[in-house]
Chain A
Amino acid sequence: GENVEQHPSTLSVQEGDSAVIKCTYSDSASNYFPWYKQELGKGPQLIIDIRSNVGEKKDQRIAVTLNKTAKHFSLHITETQPEDSAVYFCAASDSGGYQKVTFGTGTKLQVIP
């Protein structure tokens, strides 16, 4: 089955700096890669996603890049703000009928004011 590895497990940045979280996946058939943000006491919420036919996607201060050859994808957050502090999960979804999603182990991001 699919295996998703995520690094780092914790990340501290100064407000205004950039943050990068990296993930690798094992199944070359995976074709959908979402990122979820989990704030304290809440369930994860989708913040951005990318499909295998696209190399990069941006949404304001958030961007995701995908390298299918190397089987890795990354989340980039620019101009970080205290409200970006949360746990971030990457995930990969296979192309099978059930579109099963496998999550990474999570990155706890702390933005220091």
Chain B
Amino acid sequence: DVKVTQSSRYLVKRTGEKVFLECVQDMDHENMFWYRQDPGLGLRLIYFSYDVKMKEKGDIPEGYSVSREKKERFSLILESASTNQTSMYLCASRLLREKSYEQYFGPGTRLTVT
């Protein structure tokens, strides 16, 4: 089974702090994604990485950056956390095969910025 793990289930940070959310997948998937999930807004794509050291902005990249130095790890960075970044953050990975574009999600990190 594919396993996507996220470093924390719950995180509380203060406004202005630099925050790192880590995601690791164990299936050698090329693609990795960061989403945030908010009630009534669904899943919104923050950044994705097509392969190692590659990154593309999603729909809401402002206030975030990412790092992918190794294939299995994709980090989301909040340079200076703000209260409007309080949310559930979901990481996903995907193996782009011809017949399957399935994304495998981690359990999520609920981040609270106070």
Instruction: Give residues in A with beta carbon < 8 Å to B.
Output: 1, 6, 9, 32, 34, 36, 41-46, 49, 89, 93, 98-106
Residues of A within 8 A of B61 (CB): none
How many CB-defined contacts (below 8 Å) exist between A and B? 54
Partner of B103, one of A98, A101, A102: A101
Sample of 23 A–B contacts (CB below 8 Å): A1-B59, A42-B108, A43-B4, A43-B105, A43-B106, A43-B108, A44-B43, A44-B103, A46-B103, A49-B101, A89-B43, A93-B101, A98-B56, A100-B48, A101-B45, A101-B101, A103-B35, A103-B42, A103-B43, A104-B42, A105-B41, A105-B42, A106-B42
A34→B101 contact, CB < 8 A:
yes
**Size bin of chain B's contact surface:** 20 to 34
The complex places the Cα of A100 from the Cα of B50 at a distance, in Å, of: 10
Kindly list the 3 A-B residue pairs having the minimum CB-CB distance in the complex, ordered from nearest. Answer: A43-B105, A105-B42, A103-B43
B4→A6 contact, CB < 8 A:
no
Q: Tell me, yes or no, whether B92 is within 8 Å of chain A by CB.
A: yes
Given contacts A44-B105, A100-B58, A106-B42, 17 further A-B contacts (CB under 8 A): A1-B59, A43-B90, A43-B107, A44-B43, A44-B103, A89-B43, A98-B50, A99-B101, A100-B48, A101-B45, A101-B103, A102-B45, A102-B59, A103-B42, A103-B43, A105-B40, A105-B42
Instruction: Give residues in B with beta carbon < 8 Å to A.
Output: 4, 35, 40-45, 48, 50, 56, 58-59, 90, 92, 96, 101-103, 105-108
The complex places the Cα of A102 from the Cα of B108 at a distance, in Å, of: 18
B40→A43 contact, CB < 8 A:
no
Looking at the assembled complex, report how far the CB atom of B43 sits from the nearest CB atom of chain A, in whole angstroms: 4
